[in-house]
Chains A and B, each alone.
Chain A
Amino acid sequence: MSQDSRHEWLELHGDYLYRFALARLRDAHLAEDVVQETFLAAIKTTSFAEQSSQRTWLTGILKHKIVDVMRKSRREIAASELMSEEDANMDEFFDSTGHWLESPKAWTVPDDVLEQKQFLATLQACIDKLPKKLAALFLMRDVHDTENEEICKELEISATNAWVMLYRARMSLRKCLEINWLVN
């Protein structure tokens, strides 16, 4: 492969890879860093000639870099945020007989482009307000469809921990959306 084509990688794929990374890491600096690392790793390998698409190949490298960064940031989340079965008692949502204190209200993701943008920004703000471990768990499970076993291994939590935390995360997010979206 000629070196000229390597020089074009940044122009051809840089912005695409950056958006891909930013969508997952949600931090501009981290996203820039993984894109740079991806290019540096890519120019060191010689196996590229067999790949059909440069972009697919580069994205594959990028995915690994992203997972590494996520893993590192998860390790920094304090173990004190772990939860047990008792924490599933979300008494702020139910009365003593187990009925909803406030009935869940109907909302849907808006079809209108502009409205949808505002809605998603509201949801993002709600996710940002969650305790870090809950947010990490919610994103792994509901956004990236990671299997439960892998989540437990990765975050070093038990299966009980995982369901309680996911339950709390989802309960909090839907309440947050009710408060911040439906009111407007």
Chain B
Amino acid sequence: MLISCKVASRLISRSLDKPLSWQERLSLRFHLAICQYCREFSRQLRQLKLAAQSILQQTEHDLSIQLSPDAKARITKAIQSDL
């Protein structure tokens, strides 16, 4: 029932991808109740996901990012030759 931080950290990561077995869930819950380090680790992994998603959104919403004039000319040419 008692698991180490090493094992707990694997379970925390795995729980983000698929449901743990009930034994795993129970062991992890016990561990997290007494281990502030693994609670912090768990929080970090969630923050990491949010942050990585923000990178994508940041690029999507940055209006200063535009097609270069060269690329525009190239695409226009390609379209015209196809129309």
**Interface on A for B, CB 8 Å cutoff?**
3, 6-7, 9-10, 14-15, 18-20, 22-24, 28, 32, 35-36, 39-40, 43-44, 88, 90, 93-94, 97-100, 103-109, 116-117, 119-120, 123-124, 127, 138-139, 141-143, 148, 162-163, 166-167, 170-171, 173-174, 177
A40 CA to B4 CA, complexed, in Å? 56
A10 CA to B68 CA, complexed, in Å? 12
Does B33 touch A at the CB level, under 8 Å? no
In the complex, which of the residues A10, A32, A99 contacts B76, with contact meaning CB atoms closer than 8 Å? A10
Q: Mask for B6-26, Cβ within 8 A of A = 1, else 0?
A: 110110011011100000000
Q: How far is the CB of B71 from chain A (nearest CB, A)?
A: 4
12 more A-B residue pairs beyond the given contacts A6-B79, A20-B60, with a C-beta to C-beta distance below 8 A: A18-B66, A22-B59, A43-B79, A90-B6, A94-B4, A103-B40, A123-B48, A123-B51, A142-B53, A143-B55, A170-B45, A170-B48
Q: Please, could you name 18 A-B residue pairs with CB atoms under 8 Å apart, sorted by A?
A: A6-B83, A9-B79, A10-B79, A15-B63, A15-B67, A19-B59, A23-B56, A23-B59, A24-B56, A32-B75, A35-B71, A40-B78, A94-B5, A100-B5, A123-B52, A124-B55, A167-B14, A173-B48
A104 CA to B79 CA, complexed, in Å? 53
A106 CA to B44 CA, complexed, in Å? 8
Q: Are A39 and B75 in contact (CB under 8 A)?
A: yes
Q: Are A107 and B59 in contact (CB under 8 A)?
A: no
Q: Are B52 and A142 in contact (CB under 8 A)?
A: yes
- Given the contacts A19-B65, A94-B5, A174-B41, A107 and B47 also touching, CB distance less than 8 Å: yes
Does B50 touch A at the CB level, under 8 Å? yes
A-B contact count (CB 8 A): 145
Q: Are A10 and B72 in contact (CB under 8 A)?
A: yes
CB neighbours (8 Å) of B43 from chain A are 106
Question: CB-nearest residue of chain A relative to B71?
Answer: A32
CB neighbours (8 Å) of A90 from chain B are 6
In the complex, which of the residues B5, B13, B18, B40 contacts A148, with contact meaning CB atoms closer than 8 Å? B18
Q: Are A44 and B57 in contact (CB under 8 A)?
A: no
Question: CB-nearest residue of chain A relative to B17?
Answer: A148
Q: Are A98 and B83 in contact (CB under 8 A)?
A: no
Q: How far is the CB of B65 from chain A (nearest CB, A)?
A: 5
In the complex, which of the residues B14, B48, B67, B68 contacts A174, with contact meaning CB atoms closer than 8 Å? B48
Q: Which 3 A-B pairs have the closest CB atoms?
A: A98-B4, A23-B59, A98-B6
